[in-house]
């Protein structure tokens, strides 16, 4: 196929206003909420959110998910505490700026681990782990309700993708109900015997992601700018790149 140079000049993609559908509104206006009011979310709303998750598409309709809802302040605080301890261990071993083991060894550990765990130790989550260790950031952001998404590892094809669909259904529904949500990947650090036992999570289930739910602090919604993506577009025997 013949490749055509960038078809649409970037100047022509200025934002335009218009009528959005109800779904577009939810998608575009929702922001991740990382500060919550203490007020608990009523049970019926949480049930509605879970219901939206239940109706997510999944490969072969395998529904490879299990939901664990935690609304107990003591348990959330304990999870927060344990995640923070794990983050402090990471920071001790790998934060080259502050580690007591010295810059050289810490950098070595950082590079080794970032090679072995490139997703977890992308620079952004690495920064988040160090921020949690310092006490600048909370894993669960003080939210009153936490939904842990567990994955049935025997799911058809790619169960993690199905969990993504399921969670997206839930966060958009929660947004339409006036709730704030945030995905919490740091639940990865709860993959330890203590918490698996506590929640009764064993094969074939594993902790995959967490979603926190609560009433947001302030008015966090709004449409904001975002980077355009280079999209390859094949049509009529040509390839073009659109933004």
Partner 1 sequence: MAYISFMERFRIPTYDDPATGTTGRVEIDRELCNGCGRCAAICPGKAIYMAGKGTRRKAGFDQDFPQCMSCNDCAAICEQGAIAVTEPYWFAYRFKTLDRGPFSAPRHFPGGTQDARP
Q: What are phi and psi of 231, to 5 degrees?
A: -115, 125
Q: What is the full DSSP assignment across 206-221? A: EEEEEEEEEPBSS---
59 binds partner 1 (CB under 8 A): no
CA 16 to chain centroid, in Å, comes to 29
Taking CB under 8 A as the criterion, the residue among 137, 156, 161, 177 binding partner 1 is 137
User: Please, which residue, 118 or 193, has the CB nearer to partner 1?
Assistant: 118
> Which has the closest alpha carbon to 179: 20, 49, 21, 24?
49
Taking CB under 8 A as the criterion, the residue among 131, 156, 165, 201 binding partner 1 is 131
Taking CB under 8 A as the criterion, the residue among 5, 17, 22, 116 binding partner 1 is 17
Taking CB under 8 A as the criterion, the residue among 14, 22, 74, 116 binding partner 1 is 14
> Which has the closest alpha carbon to 213: 171, 165, 169?
171
Distance CA 172, CA 215 (A): 14
Pairing of strands 231-235, 205-214: unpaired
Distance CA 146, CA 39 (A): 14
Could you say which DSSP state residue 132 is in?
A: H
172 binds partner 1 (CB under 8 A): no
15 binds partner 1 (CB under 8 A): yes
200 binds partner 1 (CB under 8 A): no
239 binds partner 1 (CB under 8 A): no
9 binds partner 1 (CB under 8 A): no
CA angle 183–154–204, rounded 5-degree value: 75
Q: How far is the CB of 76 from partner 1 (least distance, A)?
A: 18
Q: Are 1 and 234 in contact (CB under 8 A)?
A: yes
Q: How far is the CB of 111 from partner 1 (least distance, A)?
A: 5
Taking CB under 8 A as the criterion, the residue among 218, 235, 236, 237 binding partner 1 is 218
By CB under 8 A, the residues from 110 to 129 that bind partner 1 are 110-111, 114-115, 118, 122-124, 127-128
Residues at the site binding partner 1, with contacts judged by CB under 8 A: 10, 13-20, 28, 31-35, 96-97, 107, 110-111, 114-115, 118, 122-124, 127-128, 131, 136-137, 217-230, 243
């Amino acid at each position: 196929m013949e490749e055509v140079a960038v078809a649409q000049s970037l100047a022509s993609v200025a934002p335009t206003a218009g009528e959005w559908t109800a779904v577009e509104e939810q998608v575009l206006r929702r922001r991740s909420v990382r500060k919550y009011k203490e007020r608990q979310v009523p049970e019926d709303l949480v049930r509605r959110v879970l219901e939206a998750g239940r109706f997510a598409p999944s490969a072969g309709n395998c529904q490879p998910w299990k939901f664990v809802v935690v609304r107990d302040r003591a348990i959330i605080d304990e999870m927060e505490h344990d995640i923070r301890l794990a983050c402090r261990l990471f920071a001790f071993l790998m934060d080259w700026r502050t580690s007591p083991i010295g810059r050289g060894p810490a950098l070595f550990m950082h590079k080794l681990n970032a090679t072995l765990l490139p997703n977890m130790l992308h620079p952004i989550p690495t920064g988040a782990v160090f921020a949690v260790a310092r006490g600048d950031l909370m894993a669960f952001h003080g939210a009153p309700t936490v939904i842990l998404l567990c994955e049935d590892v025997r799911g058809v094809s790619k169960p993690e993708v199905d969990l993504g669909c399921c969670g997206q259904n839930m966060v958009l529904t929660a947004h339409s109900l006036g709730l704030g949500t945030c995905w919490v990947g740091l639940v990865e650090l709860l993959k330890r015997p203590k918490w698996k036992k506590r929640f009764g999570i064993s094969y074939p289930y594993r902790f995959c992601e967490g979603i926190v739910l609560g009433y947001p602090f302030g008015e966090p919604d709004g449409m904001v700018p975002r980077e355009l993506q280079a999209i390859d577009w094949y049509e009529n025997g040509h390839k073009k790149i659109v933004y």
